[in-house]
Structure 1
Amino acid sequence: MPGLSDNSYGEWLFRSFVSQMSSQHSTTALSWRKLYLSRAKLKASSRTSALLSGFAMVALVEISITNDVPDYLLILFSVCTTLLVSVHLLALMISTCILPHIEAVSNVHNVNAVKESPHEKMQVFIQLAWAFSTGLGIILFLAEITIICWLQFVTINKYAAIASTIIVAPVLVIFLVFAAFFYRRLISHKYERSYRDLEDLQQIAEELQNHSQLQNLNSPHAGSIQNV
């Protein structure tokens, strides 16, 4: 029985070590995945925000407005342009402030360097920049295109402005449907992944508990108690 006890304890110790190392490796790999995803989001947000805000500023400077344009269109244009530029500049500022710190960590060839990255603590701001740049910013840009068409064509040919609105409206609906479908599938994927991780942790806990019970049964003290 002592030999069996030693073998059981050695096997339990080996499996515990393997499980611990695999758990640490999975945690580190997940942290690196989050870091690369955050970096990609910030890069996409900065590029998109710089491009769309530049287009909005060019439209604001180069557009020619006649005196026959209704006042409500001028108010809509000024409000939409201001919101568009402000939202994209806010996303650009967040990306510019956080991205260098993530880039500095991602270029270090050390597995544990991911702990020095601020991407987890700044995750709220990263998601905010991503939503402003690819969500609200694109919706405002589509509205900006429609308003510019009305400003240019309302005094010349009203049907041209109506045609531009008819074209942009389905595009906006498709964009909203795609965004809702995409985030729904993404949340479903994260839920399934988390559920599988919980099942793996539960299985590891059950294996450790079984090994602990087996070790207690095969221990010398248990045998002496049974003999008494």
Structure 2
Amino acid sequence: MVELQVQVPTGCPDWLFSLFAINTTMLISVHVIAAMISTYILPSIDSVCAGQELWEGSGLDPSLWGVKPSESPHERMRGFIETAWIFSSVVGLFLFLTEVSLLSWVKFWDVCIPAATYGSIAVVPFFLLCAAFCFRFHAILAGHTYEVRALGLRQVEEMKERLDAANDSYA
């Protein structure tokens, strides 16, 4: 897509070339950012996992040696990991489908306008399917998160009630 060859001179309008260039740049940038985040986070997670395996395999209690195994960086970097996933999976997917549509217009503008039109129309069902999947997947994840948090709150309320009951019995 970056090495697109177009007839010169072309009747394709400048605004379409500009839109294609902007979309291509955004598509590549989104995937580079996602790859960069993933590249920097993976070694940190590997080192924590290796440290935990070392202590578990030794049969020793790290607290006896004054060592506190650090929490995994993926907990602290959850926002970055989710950003990488959203960039690569959601934004990148929609930019790629837009890229295919724009590519058909830039490539076929001088050759056959109906081909460019049909190329764009062919992308629409996949665009809608991907959008529906993303919304459904997000709804499922949000529902699960809500259920887990609600369960946690119920457990805290039960603990409070038991503590209150214990305090009342001592009073």
Matched, 1:78 2:33: no
C-alpha distance in 2 between matches for 1:155 and 1:131:
36
Seen in structure 2, the aligned counterparts of structure 1 residues 88 and 114 have a Cα distance that, compared at 3 Å, is farther
TM-score normalised per structure 2: 0.81
Moved over 4 A (4+): 110-114
CA distance in 1, matches of 2:69, 2:78: 14
Q: Report the Cα distance in structure 2 between the residues aligned to 1:114 and 1:195, rounded to whole angstroms.
A: 30
Residue of structure 1 in register with 2:118 after alignment: 163
The percentage of aligned residue pairs carrying the same residue is 34
Deviates more, 1:100-109 or 1:85-94: 100-109
Greater Rg over alpha carbons, structure: 1
Q: By percentage of residues, which structure has more helix?
A: 1
Q: Distance in 1 between matches of 2:29 and 2:73?
A: 25
Return the letter of the residue paired with 1:77: F
Whole-Å Cα distance in 1 between the matches of residues 73 and 166 of structure 2? 39
Aligned pair partner of 2:147 in 165, 179, 192? 192
Q: Which runs of 5+ in 1 are unaligned?
A: 1-58, 218-228
The answer to whether the aligner puts 1:206 opposite 2:161 as a matched pair is yes
Report what 1:140 is aligned to. 95
Q: How far 1:84 moved relative to its partner?
A: 0.8
1:13 aligns to what?
none
Residue 49 of structure 2: which of 106, 126, 148 is its match? 106
- Residue 126 of structure 1 pairs with residue 81 of structure 2: yes
Report the 3-state secondary structure (helix = DSSP H, G, I; strand = E; otherwise coil) of the residue aligned with 1:60: coil
| Residue in structure 2 matched with residue 153 of structure 1 by the alignment | 108
Matched ranges for 1:52-91 at <5 A: 59-61=1-3, 63-67=4-8, 68-70=10-12, 71-91=14-34
Number of matched residues?
Answer: 157
Pairwise CA RMSD of aligned residues? 2.2
Q: Judging changes above 3 Å, is the alpha-carbon distance between structure 1 residues 191 and 114 closer, same or farther for their aligned structure 2 residues?
A: farther
Structure 2 residue runs without a partner (length 5+): 57-61, 63-67
The amino acid that maps onto 1:97 is Y
Q: Counterpart of 2:122 in 1: which secondary structure?
A: helix
Equivalent residue in structure 2 for 1:92, among 35, 42, 50: 35
Distance across 2 between alignment mates of 1:114 and 1:133: 32
Moved more, 83-92 or 181-190: 181-190
State the match for 1:51 in structure 2: none
CA displacement at 1:182 relative to structure 2? 1.6
